[in-house]
Chain A
Amino acid sequence: MLRKILAVDDSALIHQMYKLFLSRYKNCKLVSAMNGLEALDKLGQEENVDLILLDINMPVMNGLEFLQRVQKEAAYKDIPVIIISTEGKEEDTIRGLKMGARGYVKKPFQASELHSLIEKITGP
């Protein structure tokens, strides 16, 4: 199946890694945003986003604020969100999960961790 994944992170390195990790999926379109505000823009432009990979600590608009906005929009609130967290910010991850995120992966993550979580949520 075709997957369209929106990756939100302020690190160019992480975007490059997503590209690398997701290259195993033949039908996968990766859309990148550097912060929450840009991610909202991208959601407006792109149709049928299947999954959002969301960093929390970002400038301009952080991940939790983005999540809150997404949850308020009928058109977006059912898009599954995976939180990409970093050591030391566990409380933010918990907050995100309480706000409706479907799962989380902790940096540094392995490709296989990401794959299994993506497949669990969007199907194999």
Chain B
Amino acid sequence: MEFEVSAELVSIYLEDAREQLAVLDDVLLRLEKEGPRPDVIASVLGPLHTLKGNSGMIGLGAIKDYVHRLEEVFGRGRDGALTLDAQALDCLFEGATALRDAVETACAPGREQKDLGAAQAALAAQLARSSAPAGRSVPAAQPQPARAGDEAHTDAAGLGPARSSMVRVDFAKLDHLLNLVGELIVHRTKLNELARQIADALPGLGPELLEAVHQVESASTQLQETIMDVRMLPVRHVFERFPRLVRDLAHQQGKSVELVLQGEDTRVDKAVIDELGEPLVHLIRNAVDHGIESPQLRKARGKSETGTLLLSAAQESNQVVITLIDDGAGIDAASVRHKALERGLLQPGETLSDREAIQLIFTEGFSTARAVTDVSGRGVGLDVVVRSMERLNALIEAETIPGAGTKFTLQLPLTLAIITVLMVDVGDEVYALPSGVVVESLRYAKRDLVRMNGRDTLRVRDRIVPFVHLAELFGRQGLERDSAYAVIVGRGEKRLGLSVDRLRGQQDVVIKALDAVVSNASVGIAGATILGDGRVVLILDVASLFEGRRARGSGRGRVAAEA
């Protein structure tokens, strides 16, 4: 190469390649469903051709050669010289997986170029089945008008003319921009405060100063909203790979499953999108593995042989709710209880409603076959999902009707950059709790506390909840009163009560990523926020409270600014 293939070039290549590979997957799925329609086959040729050209340009010879072969196979499929039957499609599905793998590996830091020889040979075998000679000759002599529709790209996917008005921006720059806005907002609050004081002292200048501050305030609010909006992407980016996943999982297990997607246009912050893929893959895997029954069993139960998975997304105020519903076997609460007892996750005397018992599936150590790798597609512990949900400040819940199916509901924040917190007083300090983990808050009297195994617990309706006195935890003096407030927080199925002296209400705070300045030394602290008067408010790390760990030390320190 006469030039250096920079990281920027690689990332542009990768982004395009992912789009092209998504078209490939989509076309394969359609061919499998609708039969070898020439128009569907033709729609993949354009993206493949571009992928081939791009791969060659950045020196990925093996990928270029493989895509060239793919083009040949599809080209002959379109012309009817090769029938894209189940055997051919299986080979193409495998090839698409190998290709994706090769592209991702080649673009990863090691820039390792995978050998696609085996996949290449498999394609050659398919080509050998075709009836046309290798070099399809085309009368090149007469200039022909270009065939409209020939190798048409998927214009519907937004590759139309509008694209050139788009600018590619490194996401890190958007992060930086948002951080700057976060800072601006902290200072704005301070400025506001000062302006009010000055206006009181200098009545002459007051109105003008306040007006100017107000202008700054409104412009910075708009700036923040605009930047938040720029960071939003449709959940389609996560959802689009699932039809392929479901197809592969169902094939592996001899099941028939249809995935229905809804609300793919719902927009979420890119940082949330990036975190969302893994937990959803686990849940979908779980639904196909354990939820949907085999066709025989479904038939015997009077259901259609094809199971249905419905994955939908919708925005509800400042949250996105994602649900995954399967019409499978459901979860049997009695066997969950039994298993939880066996594994010591449930104490013999503990009583749980069916609905509460079901949530035990999210507990660490619940799944039986956790060690099995994802190659077999079985036994992935759902606690992995819970951990992802924690990183997202999200809640997850399962509902099930035995024999009819299961519904998982994920409540996610629209963005990780702004979180809604509940402000509480503990002694003379103010703390914040991410609203996503707050289940409820209530008033309690000292006599409601029950001492069990040397720990305070609080009875909340029919449930006994472990209780933590925040004042003690932080080594501060709580107000000595007979009654106070308890904030009940949740993690998976677990609940924990926190004593506070006063509830101050909810507030949105802009999170500004910082190096681990705050978190390492502090007790169960996820970050901080700054009030208008400049006072720093610590945000509690609820996960660490559950684990009884005093410090998290994970370098996830964040400082948030009041919004």
Chain A residues within CB distance 8 Å of chain B: 10-14, 16-17, 20-21, 32-35, 37-38, 41, 55, 57-60, 62-65, 68, 86-91, 94-95, 98-99, 107-112
In angstroms, Cα B160 to Cα A58, docked, is: 10
Chain A residues near B9: list those with CB within 8 A. 13, 16-17, 20
Partner of B53, one of A20, A32, A98, A107: A107
Docked-complex contact A14 and B160, CB < 8 angstroms? no
Task: List 3 tightest A-B contacts by C-beta distance, closest first.
Answer: A59-B153, A108-B56, A64-B146
B140, CB-defined interface residue at 8 Å: yes
Given A12-B16, A111-B2, also A89-B164 (CB < 8 A): no
Chain A residues near B155: list those with CB within 8 A. 59-60
In angstroms, Cα B56 to Cα A88, docked, is: 13
B365, CB-defined interface residue at 8 Å: no
Docked-complex contact A13 and B2, CB < 8 angstroms? no
Docked-complex contact B161 and A35, CB < 8 angstroms? yes
B145, CB-defined interface residue at 8 Å: yes
Docked-complex contact A57 and B71, CB < 8 angstroms? no
Partner of B164, one of A14, A20, A38, A110: A38
In angstroms, Cα B71 to Cα A89, docked, is: 11
A33 to chain B minimum Cβ distance, whole angstroms, is 7
Docked-complex contact A59 and B68, CB < 8 angstroms? no
A25 to chain B minimum Cβ distance, whole angstroms, is 15
Chain B residues near A108: list those with CB within 8 A. 53, 56-59, 64
Partner of B146, one of A11, A17, A34, A65: A65
Question: 22 A–B contact pairs at CB < 8 A?
Answer: A10-B153, A11-B53, A12-B16, A13-B9, A13-B54, A16-B12, A34-B163, A34-B164, A38-B161, A55-B53, A57-B151, A58-B46, A60-B153, A64-B145, A86-B52, A87-B64, A88-B71, A90-B140, A95-B143, A95-B144, A108-B53, A108-B58
In angstroms, Cα B46 to Cα A91, docked, is: 16
Give the nearest-CB partner of A65 in chain B: B146
A116 to chain B minimum Cβ distance, whole angstroms, is 12
Q: Among residues 18 to 66 in chain B, which have CB atoms less than 8 Å away from a CB atom of chain A? A: 46, 49-50, 52-54, 56-59, 64
Chain B residues within CB distance 8 Å of chain A: 1-3, 8-9, 12-13, 15-16, 46, 49-50, 52-54, 56-59, 64, 68, 71-72, 138, 140, 143-146, 148, 151-155, 159-161, 163-164, 168
In angstroms, Cα B64 to Cα A32, docked, is: 24
Chain A residues near B151: list those with CB within 8 A. 57
B255 to chain A minimum Cβ distance, whole angstroms, is 37
In angstroms, Cα B71 to Cα A88, docked, is: 9
Given A68-B145, A108-B59, also A14-B53 (CB < 8 A): yes
Chain A residues near B145: list those with CB within 8 A. 64-65, 68
Chain B residues near A13: list those with CB within 8 A. 9, 12-13, 16, 54, 57-58
Docked-complex contact A88 and B68, CB < 8 angstroms? yes
Chain A residues near B161: list those with CB within 8 A. 34-35, 37-38, 41, 60
B331 to chain A minimum Cβ distance, whole angstroms, is 46
In angstroms, Cα B411 to Cα A124, docked, is: 62
In angstroms, Cα B143 to Cα A11, docked, is: 26
Give the nearest-CB partner of B153 in chain A: A59
Chain A residues near B57: list those with CB within 8 A. 13-14, 17, 107-109
20 new A-B contacts, CB < 8 A, other than A57-B50, A59-B154, are: A10-B46, A10-B50, A11-B16, A11-B53, A12-B12, A12-B15, A14-B54, A17-B9, A17-B57, A20-B9, A21-B3, A59-B153, A65-B148, A86-B49, A86-B53, A88-B49, A91-B138, A94-B140, A107-B53, A111-B3
In angstroms, Cα B144 to Cα A68, docked, is: 10
In angstroms, Cα B13 to Cα A3, docked, is: 27
